[in-house]
Structures are given as C-alpha cells and as structure tokens.
Structure 1
Amino acid sequence: MERVCKECKGKLTGRADQKFCSDYCRNAYNNRINSDTKNLIRNTNNQLRKNYRILESLQPEPTTKTTRDKLLSKGFDFNLFTSIYTTKKGQTYYFVYDYGYLPLNEDYFAVVKKN
C-alpha cells in the first residue's frame, strides 16, 4: 500500500509514521481542519480574554467596587466566566480565571483577585 500525504495526496518517502510531505502541507491541513469548526471556541476565548483584561484594569487594590454600566461600557460580557465560587455565607462570586466579581446591591460589583 502506497502512503500518501493527507493534504496534497503526494507520495510519501521516509519515516513509516510520516503523514505529510512537508511543513507546508502539515500547516495547510491543520489550518483547514481547525478553521470553520473552531470559530465558536475562538470567539468565546477572545471574549474571556477581554473580560479578564477589563477586570484586571479595575483592580489597583485588593478589592475594588465598580458599576454594571462601567463594565458594560468597556465591553464586559456577564454571560461568560470560567468558574463560580459560593462562600459559606451564600455569596456567589463569578471568576474569569483569577479575577472575579461579586454582585452587590443596586448594580454595583466588588472586583477581587484570587490568591
């Protein structure tokens, strides 16, 4: 059985486990496979990074207070976070990696950093 490149279907010579004839074909194959199906993941990760940068920019002290309007004006998406932490008192913190926010009363939020 003749071995062929997964991208260009050219004949492979060399190692027995070789899948591509060149780096160009390997990159082209992986870019083609990952481009269309991964748009949702890429967009979600980009928004998580944006949320992280926004929380990081608001964190000059150990705990900072901010408003919903200020977060929204910077492009913060409240639907995307990486984890939820509920304290023994029942307070729920939403974290984007190591930065989190706690909803307070009247559209205020406490911004914290996990140690």
Structure 2
Amino acid sequence: MPRIALTQPHPFDIEVGARVAIRRRAMGLSQTDLGQAVGITFQQVQKYERGANRISASRLFEMSKVLGVSCAWLMGEEGAPGGSDLRGVDASSQKLLVAWERLDARDQVAVLNLAQTLAASKPPV
C-alpha cells in the first residue's frame, strides 16, 4: 500500500486561526467560551487556532458573529470591516499580530527583547 504523506497545515489556515485567537483574546474570551458559543469543544478551538484543522465556511460564519467581526476580516482581507478592538490598526500591524500568535512563549520573549533593543537605539518620535 502506498504511504500517505502527512502534510503541514496550510499557511492560510494558520493565519485564519491566528486571527480567531487574536480577536478572541481581545474580547476576553477563553477557548471554552468561544467553543460553547459555537457548539464545539475548547480542544477543537485550539486546533482551529493552530491551523491544524480547517474551519468550515459555516463554522467561520458562526465564529465571526460571536467575535463581532466579518468573515473577510478573519480571512485577512485588506480593508475588510473588522471588530472595534482592531479597527484602525494598519495592515502591517495586523500581520505582526498574526505572526506573533504563531510563536511559542520562548520565541515571543526573544522577539520582544529584540524589538525593545532596536527601539532603545532610536530617537523618540
């Protein structure tokens, strides 16, 4: 029998999941809260947020209602109406937040230290 190759999550699924996590945290919701609101377990929310499982269109729609953002915002569409907590955040900053969510805690500390070191060497704005 031929071997089935295990594939990595698609980068788009990872980005959508990271946006779900960003918005969920901005609203102060736990994974359990979001899961209960859309009828799934917190473990499934974890898988969605990591991009390990793809979010179906109907589930994405339900999550967007609970999170108060459009499906387009969760999918990273530029200029799409988003939630009030991230309204006005430029596209580069949103990309940074999405990337941040993909890092583990150790890497987040390293990136924060790097950013603080770089910022300290620049004159105040």
Using the size of structure 1 for normalisation, the TM-score is 0.26
Structure with greater contact order relative to length (CA < 8 Å, sep ≥ 6): 2
Using the size of structure 2 for normalisation, the TM-score is 0.24
Of Structure 1 and Structure 2, the greater strand share is in 1
